[in-house]
Amino acid sequence: MIDSKTLCLMWHLVTSEDPNIKLYDHQIEAACYFSQQVIESSNQNNIDPFVIASIIYNESRWTETITNKEGACGLGQVVYRYNPENESRKKCNKLLEGKINIQVISKILKKNLEDNNNDYKKALPCYASGPSCTYKIYSTIILSKAKTLKRYYRQAKVRLFIENIKNTVYNTFINLKERVLKCIKLK
């Protein structure tokens, strides 16, 4: 089970230890802020959350309001004309809201996976280049990043577990110390 606290620590670890993945502090804060939405959206659409996080990292470095002249909007650089949620298909509309953008990323990716026998290697180029699915290297880029993020997520989970044990031992020691001192005062 993936949790947002560990996902947040993962971003701190990966940006401090992996020379290929860099984020500024405000981008790490955004990654942490949106981590719960990534988890929920991936669960709702049965998509690997590390793939969603990798897409967002690759497309916007967690910058919510970014756009480009091709019509790509928000965290996942969703091209509005390919967005099934966009009625006007003429502008970004609500795609600049992170939560909505993450939901749309997941829906587009889910449809691309359904159209490609649940094969990420075939579905991801469709995410990157629309219906033409021509940007084949995109799947290698995203799946490689997702693999790296999974590795750092496991490290973050271990670190949090160890920290939790340390806190438990410390609190137990303090509690015991207080009991011993209380007993000594009673005598």
Cα–Cα distance for residue pair 53/58, rounded to 1 Å: 8
Is 179 within the bounds of a domain? no
Question: Could you tell me the pTM of the whole model?
Answer: 0.84
Q: State what percent of residues in the chain have pLDDT above 70.
A: 94
Average model confidence (pLDDT) across the chain: 89
Span 68-89, pLDDT tens digits: 888 899 999 998 776 655 554 5
**Tokens (6 digits) for 160:** 């949090």
Q: Which amino acid is at 105?
A: I
Span 113-159, pLDDT tens digits: 999 999 999 999 999 988 888 999 999 999 999 999 999 999 998 88
Q: How many domains does the chain have?
A: 1
Beta strands in the chain (DSSP E): 72-73, 78-79
Is 112 within the bounds of a domain? yes
Is 180 within the bounds of a domain? no
| Higher pLDDT among residues 79 and 98, named by residue | 98
Is 140 within the bounds of a domain? yes
Is 43 within the bounds of a domain? yes
From 5-14, 91-100, 127-136, 144-153, the region with the lowest mean pLDDT? 91-100
pLDDT for the residue 77: 95
pLDDT for the residue 159: 85
Assess contact for 120 and 139: CB atoms under 8 A.
yes
| Higher pLDDT among residues 5 and 93, named by residue | 5
Question: Residue 9 pLDDT > 70, yes or no?
Answer: yes
| C-beta neighbour count of 117 within 10 angstroms | 8
Cα–Cα distance for residue pair 139/121, rounded to 1 Å: 5
Cα–Cα distance for residue pair 114/151, rounded to 1 Å: 27
Q: State what percent of residues in the chain have pLDDT above 90.
A: 58
Identify the CATH number of the domain in which residue 143 sits: 1.10.530.10
Assess contact for 53 and 62: CB atoms under 8 A.
no
85 Cβ partners below 8 Å, 6+ apart? 94, 100, 103, 104, 107
Is 90 within the bounds of a domain? yes
Is 168 within the bounds of a domain? no
Q: Can you give the residue range of the structural domain that contains 39?
A: 4-159
For residues 53-72, give the mean pLDDT: 93
Is 80 within the bounds of a domain? yes
